[in-house]
Structure 1
Amino acid sequence: MNIFRFAGDMTHLLSILVLLLKIYATKSCSGISLKTQELYALVFLTRYLDLFTDFISVYNTIMKLVFIASTLAIVWCMRMHPGVKRSYDRELDTFRHYFLVGGSFVFALVFHEKFTFQEKDLKSRFLQKCLGEDSNPNLYFGGARREFLLLFSLIFWAFSIYLEAVAILPQLVLLQRSGNVDNLTGQYVFFLGAYRAFYIMNWIYRYFTEPHFSRWIACISGVVQTALYADFFYYYFISWKSNSKLKLPA
C-alpha cells in the first residue's frame, strides 16, 4: 500500500466519522441526502462480496466492514431513528436515484474488466485451500458454473465503481437547493471529494510503479467522480478563504 492509497482511505473514513458526528451530536440529518447514503450502502455491499471468498489483509477486511456497517447505520438513523428522521429534508431530496442504479448496472453488464489467467489461477488456488489441497474446484462448481461466478463478481464490482462515481449527485443537488451548508455537512462532502482525489494519485503512482497495473474502469470513474466535486470545491475554497459560511448557488 502506498501513501496515496492510505491517505484516500483515511479521508474516506474521516468523512464518515464527520457525518456520524453530525448526526450523533445534533440529532439531525438536515442537509444530508438519504438517497446518496443508500447508494453508498449499495456500493459497498456489491463491491465487498469478496469478504466471503478472499482474505487480503486484516486492514483490508476491517476497512470494508467499517464502511459497510457505518453506512448502514447512517441509513438506519435517517429512516428509523425518531429524533433524526424528523429533520430529514425529504422535500429537497427528490433526485431520481434509481436512474443512477439502472444506468450503472447496464454499464456494468457491457463494460467490465476481464479476468486474466493469473487471476483465475489465484481464484482456483483459493478454492483449493477452502476445499482441500487435493481437491479439484471444477468437481464442485463445474467449469461453466465457476466462470459464471467469476463473471458475476466482475459485473458487481464494475457496478459498484460506476455507481460510486455518481452517488454524490443527490447530495450535491440537495445542497444546491438548500443554499446554505452547515460546517459539518460541508466538511463531510469535502473529505469525500478529497478521498477520490487521493485515489487518483494512487492510480497514477501504481501505473508508473507496477508493471501490469490496469484498472481503467476505476480510473475513468474516479476522474468523473472527482470532477463532479469541482463546483463544490470552488465554493468551499471561497468560503474558507473569506472565513464565511459556505453557500452554493441554487
Structure 2
Amino acid sequence: MGRKRELSELNKWFVWLRRQPTRVKIIIGLTFMISTLVVLNMFIEDHNHFFIASETIHAAGILVLIYKLNTKKNCSGLSLKTQELTAIFTAVRLGCSFFMEGDIHTLLDSITLVFTMWVIYMMRFKLQSTYMAELDNFPHAYVLLPCVVLSILVHPYTNHYLFSRILWAFWVYLESISVLPQLLMMQKIRVLEPFTTHYVFALGIAQFMGSAHWMISVYDTAGKYLYLLGSGYFWLPMVLLTEIVQTFILADFCYYYVKSVWNGHLLVSLPRPRV
C-alpha cells in the first residue's frame, strides 16, 4: 500500500509538471540543476573528477549498447549517425588528449572509442537488417560543418599549435550536438526499448557531470574562469553555452525516462511533437 501511495503521489506530480507552461518547466529545471550543483560542490573538491565521471558514465552507456547488440541481435531504435559522430569527436579528443595531456582521460577516451567502433561495426555489417535507416536520416553535414566553422572562429589560445587548438574546439562543439540524430530518431519512434533508453540516459548524466565542472569553476572564481584560455572573451563562455545546450537537449528525455522507470515500465513513451 505504501509503495502504491508513493507512486500515486509521484504520478500526480508528473502530471502537474507536464501541464505547466514551458517557462515554469525551465524555472523548475534550473532550480533542480542549481541545487544539485551546490550539493556536488560541497562534497567534491577536485573538479577534474567531474570529467572522469562523465567519461566513465559515457563508456558505461556504450557497454549497455554492446550488451543489447550481443544478446538481442537487434539494433532497432539506435542511431548509427550518432554513433559515427561520437566516434569522430572521441577520436579527435583522444588525439588532443594524447598530445596535450596523456593522462587518465586518454585511457578513458581510448576505451570509449573502441566500444563505439564496435557498435558501428555491428550496426553496419552484422545487424544491418534491423537498422532503421529510413528514420535515421539526419545529414552529418548539418552537424559537422557548423562545428568546423565555429571551431575556426572561436578556439582556445594556449601554447599549443593552432591546428591542435582548432581540433580542441571542434570536438567540444561536436560532442554537444552529436546526440541530436538519436533524439530525432526517438521522436519518430516514440515508444523506446530499454537498452537504447538506458544509453541515452547515461549520456544525459555524463553531460550533466561535464557541465558541473564548468559551472562550479565559474562560480568558485566569481566569473574569472570564463576569461581563461579564451579567444578574447569568447572561448570559455562558448564552451559553457554548449554544455548547457546539450544538458537541456537531453533534459526532456531524462524526465520521461525517470518517470517510466519509477512507474516500473520497461518501455519509455515520448509525447507527440507539438506542431
Task: Please indicate the TM-score interval, normalised by the length of the shorter structure.
Answer: 0.7 to 0.9
Deviations 1:119-170 (A, max 9, x none): x2xx5xxxxxxxxxxxxxxxxxxxxxxxxxx111111111111111111111
- With over 3 angstroms needed to count, the CA separation of the structure-2 counterparts of 1:234 and 1:53, relative to structure 1, is closer
Identify the range of structure 1 (155-164 vs 207-216) with the bigger mean alpha-carbon deviation: 207-216
1:75-224 aligned at under 5 Å gives the runs: 75-81=120-126, 84-115=127-158, 120=159, 150-208=161-219, 213=225, 214=228, 215-224=236-245
- Letter of the structure 2 residue corresponding to residue 64 of structure 1: D
Consecutive unaligned residues in structure 1, runs of 5 or more: 124-149
The offset of 1:104, in angstroms, is 0.9
- Letter of the structure 2 residue corresponding to residue 202 of structure 1: H
The offset of 1:204, in angstroms, is 2.8
8 Å contact kept, 1:158–1:217: no
Identify the range of structure 1 (207-216 vs 219-228) with the bigger mean alpha-carbon deviation: 207-216
Match of 1:63 in 2: 108
Name the CA distance, whole Å, in 2 between partners of 1:51 and 1:112: 16
Alignment of 1:235 with 2:246, yes or no, is: no
Deviations 1:203-230 (A, max 9, x none): 2333455797444333221111111012
Alignment of 1:32 with 2:78, yes or no, is: yes
Consecutive unaligned residues in structure 2, runs of 5 or more: 1-45, 229-235
- Letter of the structure 1 residue corresponding to residue 245 of structure 2: V
Deviations 1:175-217 (A, max 9, x none): 1111111111111000001001011112233345579744433
Q: Secondary structure at the match of 2:130?
A: coil
The offset of 1:91, in angstroms, is 1.1
Q: Count residues with an aligned counterpart.
A: 215
- With over 3 angstroms needed to count, the CA separation of the structure-2 counterparts of 1:51 and 1:196, relative to structure 1, is closer
Match of 1:135 in 2: none
Deviations 1:57-89 (A, max 9, x none): 2x22211211221111111111122xx121101
One of 243, 247, 250 as aligned partner of 2:269: 247
Q: Secondary structure at the match of 1:89?
A: coil
8 Å contact kept, 1:112–1:217: no
Name the CA distance, whole Å, in 2 between partners of 1:156 and 1:235: 35
CA RMSD of aligned residues (A): 2.0
Q: Percent identity?
A: 32
Name the CA distance, whole Å, in 2 between partners of 1:48 and 1:219: 21
Q: Secondary structure at the match of 1:216?
A: helix
Q: Secondary structure at the match of 1:30?
A: coil
Name the CA distance, whole Å, in 2 between partners of 1:56 and 1:209: 27
Give TM-score, length-normalised by structure 2. 0.72
The offset of 1:174, in angstroms, is 0.7
Name the CA distance, whole Å, in 2 between partners of 1:13 and 1:247: 25
